[in-house]
Amino acid sequence: MTNAIQVLILGVMLGGVYALMASGLTLIFGVMRIVNLAHPIMIIWGAFVAYWLFKLYGIDPLVSMPIAAAFMFLVGIVLYKLVYAREAASAKYSEMTVLLTFAVALVMDGAVSTAFSNTQRVTSPPYATDAFIFGPIFIPTAQLYAGIVSIILVGGLFAFLQFTRTGYAIRATTQNRTAAQLLGVNVAFISLLTFAIGSALAGASGALVSFVFSFFPAKHWEWIAVLMSLVVLGGMGKLVGTIVGAFVLSIIAAFVGTYAGATWSTITFFLALFLILLIRPQGLFGDPIEGT
């Protein structure tokens, strides 16, 4: 029983991190119908920003997180202007972005692999090896901090979307682009802003990832499937669904990892992706898929 509570807590903490990692992906898909396969490599870029700031200047990744987010915000703006904006009018936009973002992922992967090589890295702030111990329950400090910060950030994103004027515009654009435009929303600007915010979320989660997991450029290929499984489980583009999906799958993966062995834990995500697409392709919170 104690063991189960321990596993549950670890699953929840990791779920928070996964929710943050996937939130930018689902936001970008929701507003722009871009399936951003480059999202995980953007997380790696964020991780590198935090890694080097720690290595060179000793800045704690929790402190450098806003810097990583701001850096990726700018990268997002440049990418959107250079790559995505010019195809926005195409009828096959969604399909095209799969290839486009794949190419972007390759380029971004190649850039950091060449610059920093593909060795495993991890940021090691003082708390990286600490743990909180409550009687028989043991929680690694790094995962606890990363989980709490992620949950706060996702909560902040949620409040931003729910209560601010810009948040209304983003949600409206997600749900009915034409109507949003007719009511005075500048949808081109909202698309750019959303892409930049999604990229900033990738940067922020990268800073956390840098001390929770070890990372290297090619690791993003593994994350694409993991993050896609969360987004698909929740219903493509539904933020609440993605968050629920992240917690559900992380908790299941934590239990599978503990009781069936760590190698089986990753399979949870792939198996989930497979089963959702077979049984309920629209995901938990998605609208029924029409024949369009």
Partner 1 sequence: MPELLEVHDVVAGYGNGPAILDGTSIKVRGGQIQCIIGPNGAGKSTLLKTICGNLPIRSGEVLLGGERIVGLQPHEILRKGICFVPQERALFPRMSVRENLRMGGYILNDRAELERRIDDVLERFPILRERAHQLASTMSGGQQQMLTMARTMIVRPRIVMLDEPSLGLAPKIVDQVYDIIKLLRDEGITILLIEQNALMGLKNADWGVVLDLGKTLFEGPAKEILADERIQELYLGRRSKAA
Residues that bind partner 1 (CB under 8 A): 165, 168-169, 171-172, 175-176, 178-186, 287
Can you tell me the distance from the alpha carbon of 250 to that of 273, in angstroms, rounded to the nearest whole number?
13
Q: Give the nearest distance from C-beta 185 to partner 1 in angstroms.
A: 6
Is 206 in contact with 111 (CB distance < 8 Å)? no
Q: Give the nearest distance from C-beta 184 to partner 1 in angstroms.
A: 4
Nearer to partner 1, 220 or 238 (CB): 238
Can you tell me the distance from the alpha carbon of 23 to that of 202, in angstroms, rounded to the nearest whole number?
8
Is 197 in contact with 247 (CB distance < 8 Å)? no
Burial class of residue 244, CB neighbours in 10 A (0-12, 13-18, 19+): buried
Q: Give the nearest distance from C-beta 176 to partner 1 in angstroms.
A: 5
Residue 176's CB: how many other CB atoms inside 10 A?
12
Task: Show Cβ contacts of residue 61 under 8 Å, excluding neighbours closer than 6 positions.
Answer: 50, 51, 53, 54, 123, 125, 207, 208, 210, 211
Nearer to partner 1, 57 or 163 (CB): 163
Q: Quick one: tokens of 37? A: 């396969």
Is 269 in contact with 225 (CB distance < 8 Å)? yes
Q: Give the nearest distance from C-beta 174 to partner 1 in angstroms.
A: 8
Q: Which residues of 15-35 are buried (b: 16+ CB within 10 A; e: fewer)?
A: bbbbbbbbbbbbbbbbbbbbb
Nearer to partner 1, 74 or 183 (CB): 183
Nearer to partner 1, 177 or 252 (CB): 177
Q: Give the nearest distance from C-beta 87 to partner 1 in angstroms.
A: 16
Nearer to partner 1, 179 or 260 (CB): 179
Nearer to partner 1, 225 or 240 (CB): 240
